[in-house]
Structure formats: structure tokens, C-alpha cells
């Protein structure tokens, strides 16, 4: 039985309201998402969804299945179909704009072998712990400044807008070589790309048609392109000790990479590098505000901070899903994924899998083992994972010794976005030393 069959076996099909939740941005801002995942894990862990307006796709909700698919990059590829869940109208619109490609940019996440490895190798060493250690002191300065600013708030703030958004943005922009005065522009563009349907973050609050949406995304990409085009030219003429200089002067097989691919590289680093980390940072603080015993535990033993960060990454799982497409038939859980089928890897579900995590719906700062898969797995395993963990470790090393107490001072709000999502508002009351 394959999804390509005209009549799908009823056991495979996910009920329509459940399938609809998987593509509904509002579900990602409510408990409905995890209720949906829990139901799927228990009742149809590898099912087929066909929400209205979308091509049919497999929904992979179990930790083991996500790993099994992610590690087989020749079999489950990223290039042929959209790598994020996309409705038929938007897909058609993008293909019309690009002359047939499902991607508006061509960055690492949209590439497959052999190009993927070559492009990844350009910056891989730069993102490894040995190189990142050189940045530790500079990142600590940025974290200290952020914490000092928090202390000046007189015990009340919105942790998302007043700290969590700016801190990782500042780190990644400094690494990339973007001057501080351009950071608000970068923040706005990233939010438009990732939160394009969220009424607070998109350019327009009204419901958008798929083609308007595709146009807005293209507009954001054009803005990025103009900005980074100028930056590339500058770094070719005057190379510096920053990531932009590595990208601008990169060659593959003896030839300089194209402007389009350089621009795509800047975009993936600029975008992947901060919304994810900021969403996780604020989720950790939210969890500590709700669990004073966990806060006390980490304050009493700061060596737990790395495991607090790891648990925060599991808890937030800011990248909710990535898509793959099959290049050949494949048997999994007694079902046949057919060649060309599309698959949704539900990381946020894998990270609450009852078969892998004890009490998955409990936040434990000292969880051990913690096999969270929020960074994906296989060839596309997050390139920035060490940087993300380091940034958060340093921030909490600076913040927690000074934080005497923290509690919620209003309703936390999540972004309505099906790809990268997390807190957009976290009002807190706190005391600092
Ligand atoms: C890839 C998550 C932070 C850069 C990925 C992927 C995930 C992910 C799930 C896999 C994509 C796929 O399978 O197709 C996260 C999370 C983060 C985070 C949860 C923070 C908590 C960062 C940071 C950077 C970064 C700080 C650095 C600039 C990248 C890049 C890729 C990637 C360049 C593409 C790798 C490839 O396709 O080979 N990330 N990320 N990420 N991430 Fe992250």
C-alpha cells in the first residue's frame, strides 16, 4: 500500500480535523499541537495527511522513525520538493517564479549530495567547538550587557522583546559581520520569513492568499539579497575575520560560488541563527518561572546549566518540522512509503515521545539521558548547534547567579507559525541581585 494509490487504505489516513491542525498556524500557538502529536503517536504514528489545499504527506511522529528517515539522506532528499510544509497554491506560485524549482533560495537545507557536503564544508570548521571557543569571551560580554539591561528594568519586563530577541541576534550578526545599526532590519526580515502568517509579525495582519504570501516571502528575500549583495562585494574587496568573508570568497571545485548561493548562505545563517535560539532562551525562562524548584536546583548547582539548556531545547523544539521526499519505496512500521512521497518530520513530537523520555511532559533541568532531536539528524544536522548551546549556556551562567526570583506577570503568547515558532511575548516579574 503506498500513498500514491488512488484509494488510500483507511488505516493510513489521519482524520481530517487532525490533519488540518498540522498545517494550521494557530494550532502551533496553543496546546492543540501537542494534543495532536500525542494522539498521532498513540493511534497512527506513521499516517498520511491530506489537508485541504495540500499535497498528501506522511506524518512521522515517533522519535525512532524521525532518526531512521533523517539518517538516510540519499533515500530521503531535501531538494525536489519544499523543505517546509507548503500548500499547493504557494508551491505552484514559487515554481512559476523560479522556473520550476520549489525553493526561492538554495541554501544547505535545500541541497542534497554531492553539493550539500561541499557547501557545508565551507563553514563546517568555523562552527565547530574548537573555533567557537575563541568567541566565548566576546559572547560573554554581550550576555553580560543583556543581563545588566534586564537588571535596569526594575523588576518587570517582557523577556522576549527585552532580552531574548536581541541577544542571539546580536551574537549572530556580529559573527556574520553585520553592523549593529542594521540589526533591526535583519530582525524584521527574519520574522517576516518565519512568522509570515502570524498577525503580529507579518507585513499585513489580514488573512493572505497563498500567492500574496509567496510574494511577501519573495519581497523579504529580495531585501536580504540587496543587503547581502553589497556585503559580499565589500568582503571580496576587503576580506575580514568574519563569516561573511568566508562566504563571499568561497570557491567550490575551483570556481567562486554564485551570488545566488552566497546570498542563500547568508540567509540561512542569519535566519536559522537567531529566531530558533531566542525562542529557546525565552522558553527556558518560562519553564523556570513555572517551576521554582527547577530554578532553585540550577542556582544551587550551576554545573547543571548545560543540561538545563539541553532540556530547554527539547521543551521548546523551535523548529517544529522539516520535509523530505522519498527517492525509492521504503518499508517502515509495516507500511510502504512510495518513491516521490513527501514526509513531514515532526521534531516537536519526537521530543515528547513516551517511548524515549520518562515523563516527557515534565520539564527537568537535570534530565539524563536527554536524546532530544531538535537539531535534526543525519547530513543536515544543525550546523549551528554548538553555537546555539554555547550562547544559551553563557547567558544563563550570567543571568542565574543574579536572578533571585521570577514569575509570570501576564499571559505568555506564542507565534502562529508552522515552521519555526516559539514565544513572542513573556511578561515577567523578577528580582535580581
Ligand atoms: C539546520 C534546528 C540554531 C544554522 C538545522 C536543522 C534543524 C535545526 C532541525 C535541520 C534541517 C534539516 O534537517 O533539513 C536548530 C535549533 C536551533 C538552531 C533548534 C537553536 C536552538 C542554529 C544556529 C545556527 C544554525 C545558532 C547558526 C548560525 C543552521 C544551518 C543549518 C541548520 C546552517 C543547515 C544545515 C544543513 O542543512 O546542512 N537547524 N538550529 N542553527 N541550522 Fe540550526
**Which residue has the CA at smallest separation from atom 36 of ligand 1?**
380
175 lines ligand 1 (CB under 6 A): no
In the block, cell 548551546 appears at 389
Counting every residue written for the chain, the total comes to 433
How many contiguous H segments (helices) and E segments (strands) does the chain have? 18, 14
Residue 281 lies in a domain: yes
Report which secondary-structure segment, H or E, holds 132: helix 129-132
**Which residue has the CA at smallest separation from atom 30 of ligand 1?**
383
CATH number of the domain bearing residue 390:
1.10.630.10
375 lines ligand 1 (CB under 6 A): yes
The angle that helices 166-176 and 136-151 make with each other, rounded to 10 degrees, is 150
CA separation for the pair 386, 140 (Å, rounded): 15
357 lines ligand 1 (CB under 6 A): no
Give SS3 for 332: strand
**Which residue has the CA at smallest separation from atom 32 of ligand 1?**
382
Residues 6+ apart with CB under 8 A from 112: 73, 74, 77, 78, 79
pLDDT at 275: 87
350 lines ligand 1 (CB under 6 A): no
Residue 351 lies in a domain: yes
Q: Positive or negative CA dihedral for 332, 333, 336, 339? A: negative
Atom of ligand 1 nearest to the CA of 111: 37
Kindly give the distance from the C-alpha atom of residue 10 to the centroid of ligand 1, in angstroms, as a whole number.
36
Residue 1 lies in a domain: no
Residue 184 CB neighbours (<10 A): 11
CB–CB of 185/202 below 8 Å? no
Closest CA to 3 of 23, 19, 26, 27: 19
In total, how many domains does the chain have? 1
Fill in the DSSP letter of residue 80. S
Atom of ligand 1 nearest to the CA of 270: 28
CB–CB of 388/422 below 8 Å? no
Residue 402 lies in a domain: yes
282 lines ligand 1 (CB under 6 A): no
Residue 257 lies in a domain: yes
322 lines ligand 1 (CB under 6 A): yes
Kindly give the distance from the C-alpha atom of residue 63 to the centroid of ligand 1, in angstroms, as a whole number.
18
Kindly give the distance from the C-alpha atom of residue 28 to the centroid of ligand 1, in angstroms, as a whole number.
20
Residue 7 lies in a domain: no
For residue 162, what are the CA distances in angstroms to 132, 147, 167, 415?
26, 10, 9, 17
Atom of ligand 1 nearest to the CA of 391: 26
Closest CA to 414 of 278, 273, 268: 278
CA separation for the pair 420, 318 (Å, rounded): 5
Residue 4 lies in a domain: no
Kindly give the distance from the C-alpha atom of residue 74 to the centroid of ligand 1, in angstroms, as a whole number.
19
Residue 39 CB neighbours (<10 A): 15
29 lines ligand 1 (CB under 6 A): no
**Which residue has the CA at smallest separation from atom 5 of ligand 1?**
382
Residue 268 lies in a domain: yes
108 lines ligand 1 (CB under 6 A): yes
Q: How confident is the prediction along the chain (433 residues), in pLDDT tens digits per residue?
A: 445 554 567 789 999 999 999 999 999 999 999 999 999 999 999 999 999 999 999 999 999 999 999 999 999 999 999 999 999 998 998 898 888 999 988 999 999 999 999 999 999 999 999 999 999 999 999 999 999 999 999 899 999 999 999 999 999 988 888 898 998 888 887 777 665 556 665 445 346 676 777 777 788 888 888 898 999 999 999 999 889 999 999 999 999 999 889 988 988 888 888 889 999 999 999 999 999 999 999 999 999 999 999 999 999 999 999 999 999 999 999 999 999 999 999 999 999 999 999 999 999 999 999 999 999 999 999 999 999 999 999 999 999 999 999 999 999 999 999 999 999 999 999 999 8
Give SS3 for 170: helix
> Based on the number of CB atoms within 10 Å of its own CB, is 81 exposed (0-12), middle (13-18) or buried (19 or more)?
buried
Kindly give the distance from the C-alpha atom of residue 125 to the centroid of ligand 1, in angstroms, as a whole number.
15
374 lines ligand 1 (CB under 6 A): yes
**Which residue has the CA at smallest separation from atom 25 of ligand 1?**
384
Structural domain for 69, as ranges: 16-432
Kindly give the distance from the C-alpha atom of residue 400 to the centroid of ligand 1, in angstroms, as a whole number.
26
**Which residue has the CA at smallest separation from atom 12 of ligand 1?**
380
Q: What is the ipTM of this complex?
A: 0.99
DSSP string, 208-233: --HHHHHHHHHHHHHHHHHHHHHHHH
276 lines ligand 1 (CB under 6 A): yes
Kindly give the distance from the C-alpha atom of residue 268 to the centroid of ligand 1, in angstroms, as a whole number.
8
Atom of ligand 1 nearest to the CA of 381: 10
Amino acid at each position: 500500500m503506498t500513498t500514491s494509490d488512488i484509494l488510500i487504505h483507511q488505516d493510513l489516513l489521519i482524520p481530517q480535523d487532525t490533519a488540518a491542525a498540522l498545517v494550521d498556524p494557530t494550532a502551533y500557538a496553543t496546546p492543540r499541537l501537542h494534543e495532536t502529536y500525542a494522539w498521532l503517536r498513540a493511534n497512527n504514528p506513521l499516517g498520511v495527511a491530506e489537508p485541504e489545499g495540500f499535497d498528501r504527506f506522511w506524518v512521522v511522529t515517533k522519535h525512532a522513525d524521525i532518526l531512521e528517515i533523517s539518517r538516510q539522506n540519499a533515500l530521503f532528499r531535501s531538494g525536489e520538493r519544499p523543505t517546509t510544509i507548503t500548500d499547493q497554491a504557494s508551491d505552484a506560485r514559487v515554481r512559476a517564479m523560479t522556473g520550476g524549482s520549489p525553493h526561492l533560495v538554495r541554501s544547505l537545507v535545500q541541497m542534497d549530495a554531492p553539493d550539500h557536503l561541499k557547501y557545508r564544508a565551507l563553514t563546517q570548521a568555523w562552527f565547530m567547538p574548537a573555533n567557537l571557543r575563541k568567541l566565548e569571551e566576546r559572547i560573554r560580554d554581550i550576555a553580560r550587557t543583556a543581563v545588566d539591561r534586564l537588571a535596569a528594568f526594575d523588576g518587570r519586563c517582557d523577556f522576549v522583546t527585552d532580552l531574548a530577541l536581541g541577544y542571539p541576534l546580536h551574537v549572530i550578526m556580529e559573527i556574520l559581520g553585520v553592523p549593529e545599526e542594521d540589526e533591526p532590519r535583519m530582525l524584521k526580515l527574519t520574522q517576516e520569513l518565519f512568522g509570515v502568517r502570524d498577525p503580529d509579525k507579518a507585513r499585513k495582519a489580514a488573512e493572505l492568499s497563498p500567492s500574496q504570501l509567496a510574494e511577501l516571502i519573495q519581497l523579504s528575500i529580495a531585501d536580504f539579497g540587496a543587503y547581502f549583495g553589497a556585503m559580499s562585494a565589500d568582503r571580496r574587496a576587503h576580506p575580514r575575520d568574519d563569516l561573511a568573508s568566508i562566504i563571499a570568497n568561497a570557491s567550490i571545485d575551483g570556481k567562486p560560488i554564485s551570488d545566488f548561493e552566497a546570498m542563500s548562505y547568508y540567509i540561512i545563517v542569519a535566519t536559522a541563527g537567531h529566531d530558533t535560539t531566542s525562542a529557546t532562551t525565552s522558553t527556558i525562562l518560562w519553564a523556570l518561572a513555572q517551576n521554582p524548584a527547577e530554578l532553585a536546583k540550577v542556582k544551587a548547582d550551576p554545573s547543571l546549566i548545560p543540561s538545563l539548556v539541553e532540556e530547554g531545547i527539547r521543551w521548546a523544539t523551535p523548529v517544529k518540522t522539516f520535509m523530505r521526499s522519498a527517492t525509492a519505496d521504503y518499508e517502515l512500521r509495516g507500511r510502504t512509503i512510495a518513491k516521490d512521497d513527501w514526509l513531514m518530520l515532526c521534531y516537536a513530537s519526537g521530543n515528547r515521545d513516551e517511548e524515549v523520555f520518562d515523563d516527557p511532559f515534565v520539564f527537568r533541568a537535570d534530565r539524563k539521558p536527554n536524546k532530544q532531536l531538535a537539531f535534526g539528524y543525519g547530513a543536515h544536522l544543525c550546523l549551528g548547534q554548538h553555537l546555539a548551546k554555547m550562547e544559551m549556556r553563557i547567558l544563563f551562567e550570567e543571568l542565574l547567579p543574579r536572578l533571585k526570583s521570577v514569575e509570570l506577570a501576564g499571559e505568555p503568547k506564542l507565534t502562529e507559525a508552522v515552521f519555526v515558532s516559539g514565544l513572542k511575548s513573556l511578561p515577567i516579574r523578577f528580582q535580581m541581585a
